[in-house]
Amino acid sequence: MAAISTFSSHPNPNPNPNFISPMLQPYLEQQQERIQPEPPPDDGTPDEPVSNKDIGDTSATTDNNSNNNPTIANTSANANANANPNPGSIKLLHVSFNQDYGCFATGTDRGFRIYNCDPFREIFRRDFDGNGGGIGAVEMLFRCNILALVGGGDSPQYPLNKVMIWDDHQSRCIGELSFRSEVRGVRLRRDRIVVVLEQKIFVYNFADLKLLHQIETIANPKGLCAVSQIAGSFVLVCPGLQKGQVRVEHYASKRTKFIMAHDSRIACFTLSQDGNLLATASSKGTLVRIYNTHDGSLLQEVRRGADRAEIYSLAFSPTAQWLAVSSDKGTVHVFSLKVNSGNAGSERSTSPPGPNSPVAASSSSLSFIKGVLPKYFSSEWSVAQFRLPEGSQYIVAFGHQKNTVVILGLDGSFYRCKFDPATGGEMTQLEYHNFLKPEEAF
């Protein structure tokens, strides 16, 4: 799942670690843009290691996909959703999609906001009173009332070494996970919480916060980690212990696979929803490789460009027919994939593209000299492109409408674009908003 954040270092205050048991429920679509809850009292309990002491539960109802109620540590951190501040003075620290790309979350120097992608609209916001307020990471759990928050910015709302669990049904934090170093990323599934540190990853059971697994990684300042979202099949991908290596954990079959994906440092990767396909990019940013996560085989290689670039995000379409890539070059690329995600565990797709398809045209014009000249001349290039202003970081995902992509920028930009799979070329811009200034639309 794509996310971009800014990181900084600050001293850590001491919150409190008691337990209550929130329920998961479909929630976001029911919210107003402004809600002013009654803040809970501060009990001032000192910081201690998290324990399994259950001190109560909530009255929220569960949805059909949540059979277990997560039990998480209670904290005294509160928030007020106050009056709408001047949007021009807000600093954006983080933006990320939820698991099905239907919503996205932003962290600002004042709090966080949740938006719907189609149709575009702000669902709700939480702006914190007093000193601090900075949220450096927000992780949604589909559209339920539970979010994971990490402090950030010049005045963080929460310690940078803690994951705060926010229950928007109660409009307050009801839990925390504490660590000895700064949190670099958080990933949620309905049954798991995954916390990424600089050189370690922790996997927790959501129902009782039991620690299930610890993974050592190479230095991972970006907090790179990806998890599958299909129930009954948990696949986790993270950096390995060597430069250019990725580690794939198949928890259902209790297998670990190491893939030497690149010669250079891993810069970005993403999983297909079912966890069968893995797309990776290195710090060079010229090639993107698609691997079978079960046997580690290279299924396809596509070329973003010839010069170096920093890859910000990779995204599979829901059917894994397309792959989108964003980078610091200001262009979003869409590639056609030849692999079949459902058959990734056994064999590659046996239906190659036709001679008139854009993916064939993008690589066949020089294919007769393949093996004679460098691989560059026989590379597979993108089918469709969309040009963006350079100077900001962008993440991309496929929209719920057919052949559309959604692009989010750390400058507050929201784009919806459409590509033609038959003719390819430049995408058509369908929509633009500045989500920090909703009145600005094109």
pLDDT classification of 429: cutoffs 50, 70, 90: very high
Convert the pLDDT of each residue in 299-348 to its tens digit: 999 998 788 888 999 999 999 999 999 999 989 999 999 877 666 654 44
Q: Please name every residue paired with 162 in a beta bridge, in sequence order, or none if there are none.
A: 178
Give the residue among 270, 396, 376 at the shortest CA–CA distance from 333. 396
pLDDT classification of 442: cutoffs 50, 70, 90: very low
pLDDT of residue 351: 45
171-180, 231-240, 307-316: range with lowest mean pLDDT: 171-180
Q: Is the pLDDT of residue 20 over 50?
A: no
pLDDT of residue 178: 94
Q: Is 148 helix (H, G, I), strand (E, B) or coil?
A: strand
Convert the pLDDT of each residue in 360-386 to its tens digit: 444 444 444 445 445 555 578 889 999
pLDDT of residue 1: 58
Are residues 215 and 247 in contact, defined by beta-carbon separation less than 8 angstroms?
Answer: yes
Provide φ and ψ at 359, rounded to 5°. Answer: -70, -35
160-175 in b/e burial notation, b at 16+ Cβ within 10 A?
bbbbbbbbbbbbbbbb
Are residues 246 and 239 in contact, defined by beta-carbon separation less than 8 angstroms?
Answer: yes
More confident residue, 66 or 203: 203
Distance CA 397, CA 76 (A): 36
DSSP state of 341: G
- Please state the pTM of the whole predicted model: 0.76
pLDDT of residue 437: 81
Distance CA 209, CA 227 (A): 18
Q: Is the pLDDT of residue 151 over 80?
A: yes
Contacts of 356 by beta carbon, 8 Å cutoff, 6+ apart: none
pLDDT of residue 141: 92
